[in-house]
Structure 1
C-alpha cells in the first residue's frame, strides 16, 4: 500500500510539478491537492493523507495557521516548503513550533527544473516522516523504529568534571533543542556546541530565536570564537564547525566529501584532542547516523555519550545508531535531558 500525500500550494504550477515528482515513485501516491490553508484542513480531514506538503503564503489561510489547525484536529506529518530567505527561515521556525515535522527549501528554479536532487530529497523526506504504521504496511523501512532499550538511571553519576557539552540533531531538532535549552539556567557551567542540520540562511535566525527564549546565551558560531560557559554556539548551516584548541572554534567550508554541513561527526571528533574525557555528547532526533563515528572517537577517550530515547524523537535514526553501536551511556527521554544535563555537569 502506497503512502498517501496531500499537496498544499496556491500555485497550480508548483502543485503539478510536485505531484509529478511524488507520483514518479511507486511508494507514494498523491491523493489530493489544496490551494489554501482552509482547503488543506478540509481535505486533510476528508482524505486522511499519511503526509502533507505545505506552502506558507496562500490566500484565505496561511500555511502556519493550517498546520496548527491540522495538528489539533487530525495530527498528520507535515513537510513545509520554505524560501531560502530570512523571512523563509522565520516562517519555517514558526511552522515547526506549530507542529510541522520538517522542511524543504523551495525555489522556482529548483522545482521547475524537476531536478534529480530535489526528487531524491523530497521522496526520502516524505517516506521518512510518513506515519510508521503506513510505512510498515507498505513494506518500507523508516528510521522511526524504537532503538534497542538501555536502562537510564537518573541517579547515574560520572567521575569526570565536564568541561564541554555537545549536541547533534537533525530532523525534529529545532523544536527539541528549544525544549532543552530553554530549561537551562543562565549560570550553566560549560559551553555548549550545537550541530543542527540546517541550511546556511536558516541558522542565524534560529540562533537569534533561541537566544531570545533562553536564559543562557545562544549565538551562531563564528570563526575564531572563544567559547564561554553559559553560551551555546550553533554551527552555521552549510559550514563545518570544529575545535582547533581548547575553547577555540574554527568555522570553515570543510571537505566536500562530507555528507552533512555541518557534520556532527566532525565537531564531535575535533573535541577528543583537547578535552580528554571531560565531554558530554548528546545525539538527539534526526535521520541517518551522523554523530555515530564522532561519538565512537569520544568514547575511546572515555567521554560520556547520551542518546535521546526513541519514542520522544520525531525521527530516531541518529540516536538509534548510537545505541545500536553500543556507544550510549544513557538513553534519555527528551523531557529529562535538561535536568540531567544540569545535574551531571554541575
Structure 2
C-alpha cells in the first residue's frame, strides 16, 4: 500500500516562540510535515519560490510586508490554503476579517504560553484545522485593500420601529470559508428582507469586526447580536464568538435574541444547531434556513428540525464550498430541500419566504 503523502506546511510568524510552539505541535502529527518556518513575508516568499506548501499558517502583524499583503499576493497568482493565526486585538481582528475575505480558509487565536494545560487542546484544534485546510477548495482572488462600500439608501437606526412586524425570518449557519460565502449572500439580499440570524464559527473578538465589515457593504443593517435584540426586517444579527450560544425566543409577540450558557455542541459555541433548534420551536414554520460551507456537522440536526416544523431549508452545493462538511452532513440526513450554488442561495431564500401553503411551494432545486 502506498504511504499517504504528508501535508506540507509552512509556518509564517514573527514570534520565535510561536514558531517553535507551532513547529513542535504540528510536527508531532504523523500526517503533517513542517517544511519550514519564516519570520516575515519576505522569507516566506523565498520558500514559495522553491517549493509550494499544501498549507500556510500565517501571522498578520509582521515587520516589513504585513501578512495581509503577503496573503493577497499569492492568492491572486497561485492560491494556497491558509490558516490565519491572529492576536485578539481590535487591529488584528479587522485585519483577520479582511484576510478571510481575501481567501484565507480559517482563523485561530494565537496560542499563549500562559494557557498552561490548555495549550494542548489549542494545538489539537490547530492540527485539525490545518488538515481541513489541506483539502479546502481555494480560488484565485483579487480582493481590494478595503471592502467596497455600495451606495445605500438611508437606513433606520437599529432598534427603531420597523415599518411592519416581521412575519418571516432567515437563519444561516456557516464555518470554514463562511466569511466569503456570507458576504456574497448578504450583499444580494434586499434592504427589506426578513430579519436574518447567523452563526458563523469564529473565535471570540473577531465577530464584531466581521459584522462591521458586512454593515459597510450593502443595504442591510448588520450588527453583532446582543442579548435582548429584537428581530426586525432588514436587520442581520451575527452571533458573537465566545462562551455563549445564540437562540431566538418569542416574547410579547416579538422574536428576540437570547444569549445563553451551555456546553459546546458539535465542538462549537455558539452552535448552529442550538440556533436552528430554537428557531424551529418559535417560528411556526415561517423561517427559511441555509447551511453554508464549513467543516463538521454543526447545523444538520437543527436544520432537520426546521424542515420538520414546516420551515424551508437549503444548503450550499459542493462545487461552490470551500469545505463541504456541514452541507454534506445536513444532506445525508435529509435536512435541506436543495443543494444550490452559492450564487443562488440568496434568491432561493427570498423565493422561499412565501405565504403559499407548503404543498404549493416552489419545487425547483428540490432534492
- 8 Å CA contact 1:228–1:247 kept in 2: the answer is no
- 8 Å CA contact 2:103–2:180 kept in 1: the answer is no
Partner of 1:214: 218
Partner of 1:303: 311
Within 1, Cα distance between the matches of 2:118 and 2:270? Answer: 26
Is 1:226 the counterpart of 2:226? The answer is no
Structure 1 portions without partners, runs of 5+ = 134-160
Question: Could you say if the C-alpha distance between residues 111 and 98 of structure 1 is closer, same or farther in structure 2, counting changes exceeding 3 Å?
Answer: farther
Deviations 1:198-236 (Å, cap 9, x if unpaired)?
Answer: 123111111111111120111111111111011111111
Q: For 2:246, what is the secondary structure of its paired residue?
A: strand
TM-score by length of 2: 0.82
Structure 2 portions without partners, runs of 5+ = 138-165, 355-367
Partner of 1:157: none
Correspondence for 1:130 among 134, 137, 147: 134
Question: Could you say if the C-alpha distance between residues 14 and 273 of structure 1 is closer, same or farther in structure 2, counting changes exceeding 3 Å?
Answer: closer
The alpha carbon displacement at 1:15 in A equals 1.3
The number of aligned residues is 318
Correspondence for 1:250 among 253, 257, 269: 257
Partner of 1:187: 192
Summarize the alignment of residues 269-308 of structure 1 with structure 2, pairs less than 5 Å apart.
269-308=277-316
Partner of 1:75: 79
Is 1:8 the counterpart of 2:15? The answer is no
Partner of 2:157: none
Q: Which runs of 4+ in 1 moved over 3 A?
A: 110-114
Deviations 1:141-199 (Å, cap 9, x if unpaired)?
Answer: xxxxxxxxxxxxxxxxxxxx9711100011111111111101222122x1111111112
The alpha carbon displacement at 1:58 in A equals 1.5
The alpha carbon displacement at 1:112 in A equals 8.2
- 8 Å CA contact 1:79–1:102 kept in 2: the answer is yes
- 8 Å CA contact 1:14–1:111 kept in 2: the answer is no
The alpha carbon displacement at 1:292 in A equals 0.9
Is 1:332 the counterpart of 2:336? The answer is no
Cα RMSD for the two superposed structures: 2.0
TM-score by length of 1: 0.87
Question: Could you say if the C-alpha distance between residues 220 and 193 of structure 1 is closer, same or farther in structure 2, counting changes exceeding 3 Å?
Answer: same
Within 2, Cα distance between the matches of 1:112 and 1:106? Answer: 14
The alpha carbon displacement at 1:132 in A equals 6.2
Within 2, Cα distance between the matches of 1:200 and 1:82? Answer: 11
Partner of 2:41: 37
The alpha carbon displacement at 1:119 in A equals 1.6
Question: Could you say if the C-alpha distance between residues 41 and 244 of structure 1 is closer, same or farther in structure 2, counting changes exceeding 3 Å?
Answer: same
- 8 Å CA contact 1:241–1:249 kept in 2: the answer is no
Is 1:344 the counterpart of 2:355? The answer is no
Deviations 1:239-277 (Å, cap 9, x if unpaired)?
Answer: 211122064223334212533211111111112232222
Within 1, Cα distance between the matches of 2:45 and 2:117? Answer: 29
Correspondence for 1:236 among 237, 240, 249: 240
Within 2, Cα distance between the matches of 1:77 and 1:114? Answer: 26
Within 2, Cα distance between the matches of 1:110 and 1:64? Answer: 27
Is 1:167 the counterpart of 2:172? The answer is yes
Question: Could you say if the C-alpha distance between residues 314 and 93 of structure 1 is closer, same or farther in structure 2, counting changes exceeding 3 Å?
Answer: same
Partner of 1:150: none
Q: Which structure has the higher relative contact order (CA within 8 Å, separation 6+)?
A: 1
- 8 Å CA contact 2:264–2:271 kept in 1: the answer is no
